[in-house]
Amino acid sequence: MKKLIFGIVFLSPPFLKKLILNWFCGAQFGRKSSIGWFSSITGSLIIIGDYSTIKPLTLIWCDGEVRIGNYTEISSFSVIYGCANFRVGNRCYIGPQVWINVSEDVVMGNGVGIGPRTMIFTHGSFLPYTEGYPVRFGKVIIGNTVWIPAGVFIQPGIEVGDNVLVNSRSVLTKSLPSGHYVAGFPAKPIRPIEQIRRKITSRKRDALILNIMKHFTSFLNQVERKVKITNSDDNAFSLHLHGKDYLIGLINSQGVVPSEFQENTHERMIILLNNSDWKPSSSKDKMMIFNFTTMKTSYSKDRVFGELYLFLKQYYGIIFEYD
């Protein structure tokens, strides 16, 4: 029966997958969660949080629990399998072609990123144990705010602390302490993460947001043939796309508002807000606000808003939660 349901879910269109899993497996799904084409999932308990997604062509087969937090993405062509539990926190990302063995528990905290083609094993053997060859079992636990980029190999029984950055192609053979940049084969701490991380003031964040905004305009020029972009001033630009006029701009940490926002002549306005005291005075219905002081935004089906939301997430690792 379990295999039959797994196969039916695999072949079903995305809008039916959650219904089937809920009916037959008691699966629980948060708001706007989704499972893509030719993907399927099974487990003794299935919980997928708000705004989380399993992309197309991904298979999750666990005999234990499958718990996926809010705002988490599992990319295409990934395989997660085994008899134990698979638990992932909030705002996590598992890249394409990731291979995760769950013979023992695999647990990830919040804000964990796993790069493409990374492999995580909780069981290692092939040659017969009864002939004297070794077998290794061990759960893998990954803390909060950890980036494990492309091509990393994690052996059974590894625990990674909080706030850790692993260099690509590293091999983790021993547990790693919190707060370090690690690299190598075997991976070992190279330096404290605070020596790599820049100190950010409100004004520095203004500059970083402006850099992102300029990069986004360049990105739109590449992916949208019909976009027309006009620089309004240093903190804003106008664009025409899909028959609508947009104004995208920064309200900086000093509360400086671009003059175009005050003129209020555009159909849609997207505000990158870096000031905790600023409040919209009028026409809030056509404003879409990315608040960098609270890391919150309001959900919108607007296409440009969606492009910017994904751009911030995929290119800069900035994940906004919806109000």
For residue 32, the domain's CATH number is 2.160.10.10
Cα 174 → chain centroid: 26
Q: Which of 55-64, 85-94, 103-112, 249-258 has the lowest mean pLDDT?
A: 249-258
Q: What are phi and psi of 29, to 5 degrees?
A: -130, 135
* Mean pLDDT across 259-269: 73
CA Rg, the chain, in Å?
Answer: 22
Q: How many domains are there within the chain? A: 2
* pLDDT class of 225 with cuts at 50, 70, 90: confident
Task: Return the pLDDT at 243.
Answer: 82
| pLDDT above 80: residue 232 | no
Residue 30 belongs to what H/E stretch? Answer: none
Sign of the dihedral through C-alpha 256, 259, 265, 266: negative
Task: Return the pLDDT at 283.
Answer: 55
Is there a single domain that holds both residue 184 and residue 212?
A: no
Is there a single domain that holds both residue 216 and residue 297?
A: yes
Q: Which of 6-15, 47-56, 255-264 has the lowest mean pLDDT?
A: 255-264
Task: Return the pLDDT at 66.
Answer: 98
Nearest to 247 by CA among 221, 223, 258, 295: 258
- Which residues in 65-196 belong to E strands, given as ranges? 65-68, 73-74, 79-82, 86-88, 93-94, 99-101, 106-108, 112-114, 119-120, 123-124, 136-137, 140-142, 146-148, 153-154, 159-160, 164-166, 171-172, 180-184, 187-192
Residue finishing a domain among 147, 170, 195: 195
Q: Which domain holds residue 38?
A: 2-195
CA distance 60 to 80: 5
* pLDDT class of 310 with cuts at 50, 70, 90: very high
pLDDT digits (tens, 9 = 90+) for 142-173: 999 999 999 999 999 999 999 999 999 999 99
Name the burial class of residue 218, with classes exposed (0-12), middle (13-18) and buried (19+) by CB atoms within 10 angstroms of its CB.
exposed
* pLDDT class of 282 with cuts at 50, 70, 90: low
pTM flag (> 0.85): yes
* pLDDT class of 1 with cuts at 50, 70, 90: confident
pLDDT digits (tens, 9 = 90+) for 23-70: 999 999 999 999 999 999 999 999 999 999 999 999 999 999 999 999
Identify which has the larger pLDDT, 263 or 117: 117
Is there a single domain that holds both residue 142 and residue 227?
A: no
> 65-68 and 45-48: which strand pairing?
parallel
Please report, rounded to a whole number, the percentage of residues in the chain having pLDDT higher than 90: 76
Tokens of 103: 């013979």
Is there a single domain that holds both residue 169 and residue 266?
A: no
Nearest to 106 by CA among 159, 29, 148: 159
Is there a single domain that holds both residue 108 and residue 251?
A: no
Is there a single domain that holds both residue 221 and residue 188?
A: no
Cβ atoms of 37 and 18 within 8 Å: the answer is no
* Mean pLDDT across 2-17: 95
Is there a single domain that holds both residue 30 and residue 85?
A: yes
Is there a single domain that holds both residue 240 and residue 155?
A: no
Task: Return the pLDDT at 221.
Answer: 84
Burial 42-54 (b: 16+ CB within 10 A, else e): bbeebbbbbbbbb
pLDDT digits (tens, 9 = 90+) for 172-199: 999 999 999 999 999 999 999 999 888 9
Task: Return the pLDDT at 125.
Answer: 84
Name the burial class of residue 282, with classes exposed (0-12), middle (13-18) and buried (19+) by CB atoms within 10 angstroms of its CB.
exposed
Helix (H, G, I), strand (E, B), or coil: what is residue 151?
Answer: coil
Residue finishing a domain among 179, 195, 211: 195
Residue finishing a domain among 171, 195, 219: 195
Task: Return the pLDDT at 290.
Answer: 96
The structure tokens 């203004």 sit at: 206
Cβ atoms of 136 and 153 within 8 Å: the answer is no
